[in-house]
Structures are given as structure tokens and as C-alpha cells.
Amino acid sequence: MKAMKRPNILLTGTPGVGKTTLGKELSQRTGLTYVNVGDLAREGQLYDGFDEVYQCPVLDEDGVVDELEEKMVQGGVIVDYHGCDFFPERWFHIVFVLRTDNTKLYNRLESRGYTGKKLQDNVQCEIFQTIYEEAMEAYSEEIVHQLPSNDPEDLEKNLEQIMQWIEQWMKDHN
């Protein structure tokens, strides 16, 4: 028997909006595989240079794509990253951009230890909806959806909505 087809889901948005929280819980509830691109890069040392301004290694985007390709072709993967324009468009069946109110995001990032330019730039990234615009350019607009991610009720609503979408997708494709 052929394996059930399962969708690939991209969770993107500014750091601190709640991608990891949503992605891990979604994985637990659905059995889909959760992949955190930041962790993947760290584990495989998929870096390409060093950013002097932010004092952090630069992601080797092609290396990440090569590393994930086989898994993505099989389907059933939830990918979490604060950027989205270097993944092959064909990988994803749906893209969620999580959004958080500025003051809430500021507080979350501050308690994560962000200060100075890093804190300012990330909050500005959210204010300018940089990642949403990146997603709208990189993917077909019909598959890009914004999700509010301000409080636990939002989290629960998002989980339920995505699970419903997965169920419908599975019915349509199997």
C-alpha cells in the first residue's frame, strides 16, 4: 500500500512571534514532523560566513535546502524559520505568517535577552511586516495566511484551524 500523502507547512514570521511554540504543539497533535531550521543549521554547522553587525553566523541557505530536500519530498513536514524566500516554492502546500502586537513582541524578545540594535531591528521587522511581504512575494498569494499570535487563545485557535486544514487536505489528496 502506498503511504498517505501529507502536506508540508511553513511557519514563518519575526523571531518571537511563536513559531516554535505552535510548530511543536502542532507536531504533537498531528504526528507531522517538526523541523526548526535554526536548530538544523546549528547541528549540521550549515553556516556560510559570520555577520559582524549581529555577531552571529550566516545561514548557508543552499546547504539547508540540500539537507531538507529528501524529507520535504516525502511530505508531512512543519518547517519553522524567520525567513522564507530561499526555500523552493514547490515544497510548501500552505504558509502561515504569525503576527504579534509590537509591545508584546518587544517584551518577549527582551525576556529572551535581546537588547539594543537586535531588539529594535526585530521589532521593526514586525512593524514593517517584512516577513509577510517576503512570503507574499515568494509564494502564491492564495497559500499565504497571517495568524494572530498574541495570547494563549490565539495559539489554541491557530492549532484548531490548521488541524482542520490538514484534515481537509488529506481527504482531498488521498
Contacts to ligand DAT by CB under 6 A: 13, 15-21, 108, 149-152, 154-155
Give me the least distance between CB of 122 and ligand DAT, in Å please. 10
> CB of 12 within 8 A of CB of 56?
no
In the bound state, the residue with its beta carbon closest to ligand DAT is: 18
CB atoms inside a 10 Å sphere around CB 69: 11
Residue 117 is assigned to a ligand binding site? no
- Sheet strand arrangement including 94-99: 33-36, 77-80, 9-12, 94-99, 144-148
Residue 56's identity, in one-letter code, is C
In whole angstroms, the minimum distance from the beta carbon of 17 to ligand DAT comes to: 4
Least Cβ distance, residue 93 to ligand DAT (angstroms):
21
Closer residue to ligand DAT (CB): 148 or 170? 148
171 three-class SS? helix
Show binding-site residues.
16, 18-21, 112
